[in-house]
Amino acid sequence: MLKLESVKKVYCKHQDEVVALDTTTIEIARGEFAAIIGPSGSGKTTLLSMLGAMSAPSEGRILLDDVSIYDLPIEQRAEVRQNKIGFVFQTFNLVPYLTAIENVQVPMMLSQKFRTEQQERAEELLGTVGLQDRLHHKPSELSIGQQQRVALARMLANDPLIILADEPTGNLDPETRDQVLAFLRQFNEEGRTIIMVTHDLSAAECARRTLRLSEGRIQAGSDQNLLKTA
Amino acid sequence: MTMGTIIWKEMKERPTALIASLLAIILSVTALVAIRNVTIFSEQEVAGKLDELGANVLILPEGVTLQDYYAADMHKETIPEEHVAELALAGLTGVEAITPKLCVPTKLDDRNVILTGILPQSEIQKMNAWSGGGMLFKKHEGCKAKINVADENLDAPDSLAERRALQHLNQSEVLLGSDFAASKGLKEGDQLQLLGETFEVLSVLPSTGTVDDSRVFAHLHTVQRLSGTGPVVNIIEVMGCCEDVANGLVGELQSLLPGTKVVTIANVVETQVSINRMMTNLSYLFLAILVAVGGASMASASFANVIERRREIGTLMALGATPRFVTQLFLAKAALLGLAGGISGYVLGSLIAVLLGPVFANVSVFPVPSLAIVAATVAVLVTLAASYFPARQASRLDPCLCFKEV
Ligand SMILES: Nc1ncnc2c1ncn2[C@@H]1O[C@H](COP(=O)(O)OP(=O)(O)O)[C@@H](O)[C@H]1O
Ligand SMILES: [Mg+2]
């Protein structure tokens, strides 16, 4: 469902060229749970943002359901993010002045869902992450773990097929980390494709496939498809 | 939830920042509204005065400066009464009435009162008739005003209040200003003693809201006799049939009566007119300040707001916000702020105008609702223009910055 065709990303800063991701070709199938691991600065976030229709590659194409997303006009690319992709961030990125339920409503507001539908679905989603009694709390009034669960609920708002998570457990204590990983595994079992960047090897164990990045290259032989048959 | 929710909640989060960014706009709208508001009423007053007194020309002794039109005769300098006859004989075109006046302060019981001597029109017409000369009251060619020439209907003593001229008055009769009559409990037909002589009240004049309300009017020659001033007057009021005539008369009268000062109502309101002109120019200045300073402070606040919210904007984009949505988000907020600034400026400005108008411009001022529309429109346009580039910058931010670790 997601395909990178000879994708390369080069950042140019004052004549210095940084090759954040060297020419890469990979394919991620529907329903996969892939982990991208590697040291800091190895290009994990760069890869994820290109997969998420957030930043155009310098070379190559990225196909989502056989559509080259960076050949779409910018407004349509925003719609792809809106309807097909859910992001989970290391820093949660909740809107600080909105309550939990309002944060979850944001993606539905952007896709112009009706007010009552927004309300009901946001409540339901916060219920599934166990925050039904924290609907009207602002992020600052929630614990770190609760904030990440609000972010998970928000990510699910428009029922995305693909979940892109950038170090979702990076800021969490071990207990909440396990909680979040359990949720991700559950979402994957519901049929969503998950690509998770992490430098936490034990977190990567949740995934069925691991890509190891180093200095912008996928390490040969790292692309192991550990089909952990249940 | 809508875009409005986001705008509203974000603004509620940082109200002081908003007020700070709006301060310049609020202040300049306030000044603009206050000045315009006072000017509007001041102009109305000028127009009203011109309307009411437009056709009047005052002939005064040379050394007199004119402060208050209604008190123009309250001074000690005099001109010879002969001037009245000269005027009557000159047969000037478009003159409706000639009223010489002499004011003498006196007391009735313990109350100070101005006894004002006036010469009734019938006696002036007589002067003119004796001379066998032309008509005293002739309409000028093309005059559209209706001329009140010795109209029998206007014979009533009450017409003094309106026309500032009187057809008949006997030497032993007085007319009372309404305030004076009320304070002394006098009415038509009563008798009163002034300067040792008994007068009969011919009529109590209707209230005019001017100093005339506390005067007593008697025959000019009686007042001259009792006060021993001789044949002099303080002022001669000449009423032209229309403003054109009044303005045209100035030159003629000046050459006819050297040694006097000839003033029209246009001269009287001249200072006010020039103050109004200055205030209008001042309001343009404040408009320029509003656009420049208000716009600049709004623009810098908007840029700061965009920088501050970069991560949030990136996140919104990751969640599917289009650049158009982001632009609208900031422009709608700017418009809302402009509206708030415009309306608060209008409220403050109107308040200042109502409170200070009477003190500084000598006019009573009321809020003008249409100024609210002008204020809000100008403020909204300024904030929108000031936020255009910040909004565009926001829409072009790299969404990837939401991946950055703090
Ligand atoms: N916006 C950018 N401009 C310039 N260089 C960047 C930018 N983003 C990332 N890089 C560089 O690209 C490389 C890969 O970064 P990143 O994808 O963030 O790595 P990781 O997520 O694995 O830590 C790094 O060397 C980083 O400095
Ligand atoms: Mg990273």
pLDDT tens figures, B65-89? 766 666 777 778 889 998 888 888 8
Residue B216 near residue B247 (C-beta atoms within 8 A):
no
| CA angle, residues B211, B217, B218, in degrees to nearest 5 | 160
Q: Are residues B82 and B227 in the same domain?
A: yes
Between CA B167 and CA B120 the distance in angstroms is 5
**Mean pLDDT score, A206-225:** 81
Are A81 and A74 spatial neighbours (Cβ–Cβ below 8 Å)?
no
**Residue B242 and residue B284 share a domain:** no
The predicted structure's pLDDT at residue A199: 83
Helix (H) or strand (E) holding B322: none
Q: Among A7-11, A210-214, B238-242, which is the least confidently predicted range?
A: B238-242
Q: Is the pLDDT at B148 greater than 50, yes or no?
A: no
CA nearest A116 in B: which residue?
B1
Give the separation between CA B29 and CA B23, rounded to whole angstroms.
Answer: 10
Do B335 and B300 lie in one domain? The reply is yes
Q: Is the Cβ atom of A198 under 6 angstroms away from ligand 1?
A: no
The confidence score (pLDDT) of residue B55 equals: 59
Share of chain B above pLDDT 90, in %: 35
B316 CB neighbours in chain A (<8 A) are 95, 106, 110
Structural tokens at position B56:
């009047």
Helices B15-53 and B369-395 meet at what angle, rounded to 10?
Answer: 150
Query: What pLDDT does residue B133 have?
Result: 45
Same domain, B236 and B90: yes
> CA of B11, closest CA in chain A: separation in Å?
9
Integer CA distances (angstroms), B387 to B11, B12, B299, B330, in order: 15, 19, 6, 7
Same domain (yes/no): B228, B342: no
Higher pLDDT, B97 or B337: B337
**pLDDT tens digits, one per residue of B192-248:** 888 888 999 988 888 877 778 888 999 999 999 998 889 999 988 887 776 666 667
User: Chain B residues contacting A, CB < 8 Å?
Assistant: 1-3, 5-6, 9-10, 12-13, 311-312, 314-325, 398-400, 402-406
pLDDT digits 0-9 by tens, A41-63: 999 999 999 999 999 999 999 99
Question: Do A2 and A63 contact (CB within 8 A), yes or no?
Answer: yes
Q: Which two tokens stand for residue B201?
A: 């009240």
pLDDT of residue B147: 46
Residue B128 has pLDDT above 80, yes or no: no
Comparison of pLDDT for A146 and B145, the residue scoring more:
A146
pLDDT number for residue B159? 67
Whether B33 and B102 map to the same domain: the answer is no
Mark whether B86 and B231 lie in a shared domain: yes
Query: What is the reported pLDDT for B152?
Result: 46
Least confident of A135-149, B26-40, B136-150, B187-201: B136-150
Classify burial at B175, counting beta carbons within 10 Å of its beta carbon; exposed 0-12, middle 13-18, buried 19 or more. buried
- Closest by Cα among A164, A129, A184, A192 to A51: A164
In a domain? residue B58:
no
CB B341 within 8 A of CB B29: yes
Angle between helices B369-395 and B295-308 (to 10 degrees): 40
Are B169 and B246 members of one domain? yes
| Lowest mean per-residue pLDDT among A95-109, A159-173, B58-72, B253-267 | B58-72
- Which residue among A8, A24, A37, A45 has the greatest number of ligand 1 atoms within 8 angstroms of its CB, and so is best to mutate? A45
**In this structure, are B246 and B306 located in the same domain?**
no
The Cα–Cα gap between B321 and B105 comes to 84
Residues B302 and B330 in one domain: yes
The answer to the question of residue B266 being in a domain is no
Residue B71's pLDDT is 72
H helix count then E strand count, chain B: 14, 11
In a domain, B359, yes or no: yes
**B14: three-class secondary structure by DSSP:** coil
pLDDT at B289: 84
Does some domain include residue B277? yes
Pick the residue with more confidence: B249 or B280?
B280
Lowest-confidence region among A127-141, B24-38, B202-216: B202-216
Report yes or no: A216 and A20 within 8 Å, Cβ to Cβ.
Answer: yes
- Tell me whether residue B340 is in a domain: yes
Q: Write down the ipTM of this complex.
A: 0.95
Interface of A with B in 171-230 (CB under 8 A): none
The answer on B358 and B321 residing in a single domain is yes
Handedness of CA A201, A203, A208, A209 (dihedral sign): negative
Domain extent for B399: 3-48+272-403
Least confident of A142-156, B79-93, B140-154, B279-293: B140-154
Asked if B246 and B362 sit in the same domain, the reply is no
CA of B203 to the centre of ligand 1 (A): 100
Closest alpha carbon to B316 in A90, A51, A105: A105
Residue B134 pLDDT class (50, 70, 90 cuts): very low
Distance, CA of B301 to CA of B390 (rounded, Å):
9
User: How many domains would you assign to chain B?
Assistant: 2
Atom 7 of ligand 1, nearest CA residue: A11
Q: Which 3-state string (H, E, C) describes chain A?
A: CEEEEEEEEEEEECCEEEEEEEEEEEEECCCCEEEEECCCCCCHHHHHHHHCCCCCCCEEEEEECCEEHHHCCHHHHHHHHHHHEEEECCCCCCCCCCCHHHHHHHHHHHCCCCHHHHHHHHHHHHHHCCCCCCCCCCHHHCCHHHHHHHHHHHHCCCCCCEEEEECCCCCCCHHHHHHHHHHHHHHHHCCCEEEEECCCHHHHCCCCEEEEEECCEECCCCCEECCCCC
Determine phi and psi for A157, rounding to 5 degrees.
-50, -45
- Say which range, A32-46, B136-150, B160-174, B226-240, has the weakest mean pLDDT: B136-150
Q: By mean pLDDT, which of A8-22, A55-69, B50-64, B376-390 is the weakest?
A: B50-64
pTM: 0.75
Examine residue B55 and state whether it is found in any structural domain, yes or no: no
pLDDT of A226 strictly over 60: no
Quick check: B56 and B235 in contact, CB under 8 A?
Answer: no
> B195 by DSSP, 3-state: which?
coil
Angle, CA of A201, A202 and A206, to the nearest 5°: 105
Is the CB of A44 inside a 6 Å radius of any atom of ligand 1? yes
pLDDT tens per residue, range B38-50: 888 888 877 777 6
Q: A170 pLDDT exceeds 60?
A: yes
Rounded average pLDDT over B164-193: 87
- If you search the block for the tokens 């609020």, which residue do you land on? B26
The residues that bridge with A64 in the sheet, in sequence order, are A2, A67
CB distance A145 to A179 below 8 Å:
yes
Q: Is 80 exceeded by the pLDDT of residue A229?
A: no
Distance of CA A20 to the CA centre of its chain: 19
Q: Which of A54, A78, A97 sits opposite B321 (nearest CB)?
A: A78
- Rounded-to-integer distance, Cα B242 and Cα B265, Å: 12
- Last residue of a domain, which of B200, B227, B258? B258
Compute the average pLDDT of residues A88-92. Answer: 94
- Least confident span in A89-103, B56-70, B185-199: B56-70
